[in-house]
A and B are shown apart, each in its own frame.
Chain A
Amino acid sequence: MNETLTILQQNLGQALWETFEMVFISGLIGVIFGTIIGLALYYFASPLFSPRPVVNTVVGFIINAIRSFPFLILMVVLIPFAKWVAGDPYTPMGGAVSLTVAAVPFFARLAEGAFAEIDQGVIEAARSTGASFWLIFQEVLFPEALPALIRGIVLTIISLIGYSAMVGTIGAGGIGNLAIQFGYNRYETGVLISVIIILVIIVQVIQWIGDRLAAHFTRA
């Protein structure tokens, strides 16, 4: 028990910070680029805008291809790429690279769905005012899709926290790494359990915040 506390005291703060770093960077980039790609997928599929089935199919194919990689394999395949981008692939920054590559197509599909669910009639009404696409995006697509986008962000962050544990096992650090190194390799069951409890709490809190935010932006 004392040993567990000592290990946690010495490593937990650092591990949490590393996990945060990885999830924050990959989540942020994933949401930004995922939204752009999701919007493009929607734009080129919707008969209300500019349907270009070829563009939609090609982009959709690439996204599906990346998403069909089991994350463990994606991570290993991307080690050279992570090295090129972040210098050392076995750091939180290196780990964030493969997480980002996984997050972008994941969130792109969620964003596409969020836009596609908007009532077509509202968009038709917006188009009939003669508004530009940019104005329609700002004033119609974005506010109407926002609650669904927030739920998508929550889902993405929670998935990334899970994946970040996997990145930890190949040495990128983080809370998953802590659990494996001490809890599994050194039979410190106390550390393992503590990490699980912390993860459960973190996920619950994120979900709660996300639900509150989504509800706040829904006026229906």
Chain B
Amino acid sequence: MSQIEINDVSVTFNQKGRDVKAVQDVSLKIEKGEIYGVVGLSGAGKSTLVRTINGLQRPTTGTVNVAGVDITHANKKILSETRKKIGFIFQNFNLINNRTVAQNIAFALTAGGYPEKQQPEKIDELLGRVGLQDRKDTYPTQLSGGQKQRVGIARALANDPEILLCDEATSALDLETAEEIITILKDINTRLNITIVFITHQLEVAKDLFDRVAVMENGRIVEQTTAYNLFARPQSDMATRLVNRFLTTQLPDDVIHWLANLPGRILTLKYQGDDSLNPIITEIARDTGVEISILQGRIEFIHNQAIGILSVFVTGEPEAVIRAITAFKTKVNSVEVTPK
């Protein structure tokens, strides 16, 4: 049995007499110890979905099983017990502003029934894990965003949870700080074997952190895949859009305008990064009689596997250009032709 099983879950909100379907017929199985991502645009239903896992949101239909317990039909006591095994971190940190860092964590410990006498020691240990031992008696408003989120993580880990839910946990942070948080989460995942469910609209997070990922659109899961395949071979329209926005080496408008006046096409090639494209380019240029100039390129690493993206400009006889495009399509993962 998987650690988290979401079966045919739908959540419908009634907003001003209108039914809004936030989540529709979602089924997911998340295994113990994995880092599972849910990506999608804002409003896709990600936040609502992740809240069904700890019962903050009750599904309208369907069931959610966490570690074998059906929490959809659980009573208050069982729900409360289950929540103690599930840490939750938020986009806006959600710390108690009028309580110190230590008191914020003590709250979660007390909620989990941790003996008061042993709390200070546990608080030190938790803050040590996120590198904030010296900020115990500080109030949250005196901390930076990244530090607040570390406190959020320490609080979420207070009751030695088996699952950590992260709702856009890095979205309010700058990229560098977000990476620090991701490093901490990865470390927690490997050291404590905690299952992490992370929802985000940031693909940067997906590439560094996720093992598997689900893509959500309008309340539905439109694709489930591994992090590498999401970038290398996105299947659904939504995934393709998200990935392209992240990976595309956007050429400056001036360059596109200038090239538009020349006979030829701009191609964006995506390929397995450890393959070299050089021979292929030479080969295709020779076989079809086109000229190929390289505009720009980059390589992204996803879980140590590389994906290369290369923008080229192909000029020559129109028929030769078409032949060249066809040839590229057989040699690389994907070819995108910039429309004229």
Which residues of A come within 8 Å of B, CB atoms?
A: 119, 121-122, 124-132, 135, 139-140, 143-144, 146-147, 217-220
Q: Across the interface, do A128 and B88 meet the contact criterion of CB distance under 8 Å?
A: yes
A-B contact pairs, 30 of them (CB 8 A): A119-B92, A119-B94, A121-B90, A121-B94, A122-B94, A122-B96, A124-B90, A125-B95, A125-B152, A126-B107, A129-B83, A129-B84, A129-B107, A129-B108, A129-B155, A129-B158, A130-B82, A130-B83, A131-B107, A135-B107, A139-B99, A139-B110, A143-B96, A143-B98, A144-B96, A146-B98, A219-B98, A219-B139, A220-B97, A220-B98
Chain B residue contacts of A140, Cβ below 8 A: 96, 107
Indicate with 1 or 0, residue by residue over B77-95, a CB within 8 angstroms of chain A CB atoms: 0011111101010101011
Chain A residue contacts of B152, Cβ below 8 A: 125
Interface of A is mostly: helix
Q: Across the interface, do B86 and A128 meet the contact criterion of CB distance under 8 Å?
A: yes
Q: Name the residue in A126, A130, A143 with the highest tally of chain B Cβ atoms < 10 Å from its Cβ.
A: A130
Which residues of B come within 8 Å of A, CB atoms?
A: 54, 56, 79-84, 86, 88, 90, 92, 94-99, 103, 107-108, 110-112, 139-141, 152, 155, 158-159, 165
Chain B residue contacts of A124, Cβ below 8 A: 56, 90, 94
Chain B residue contacts of A135, Cβ below 8 A: 107, 110-111
Chain A residue contacts of B92, Cβ below 8 A: 119, 121
Q: Give Cα distance in the complex from A81 to B199, angstroms.
A: 60
Q: Across the interface, do B107 and A139 meet the contact criterion of CB distance under 8 Å?
A: yes
Contact partner, B84, options A130, A144, A147, Cβ 8 Å: A130
Chain B residue contacts of A132, Cβ below 8 A: 80, 111
Q: Name the residue in A121, A129, A147 with the highest tally of chain B Cβ atoms < 10 Å from its Cβ.
A: A129
Q: Across the interface, do A131 and B98 meet the contact criterion of CB distance under 8 Å?
A: no
Q: Give Cα distance in the complex from A135 to B103, angstroms.
A: 13
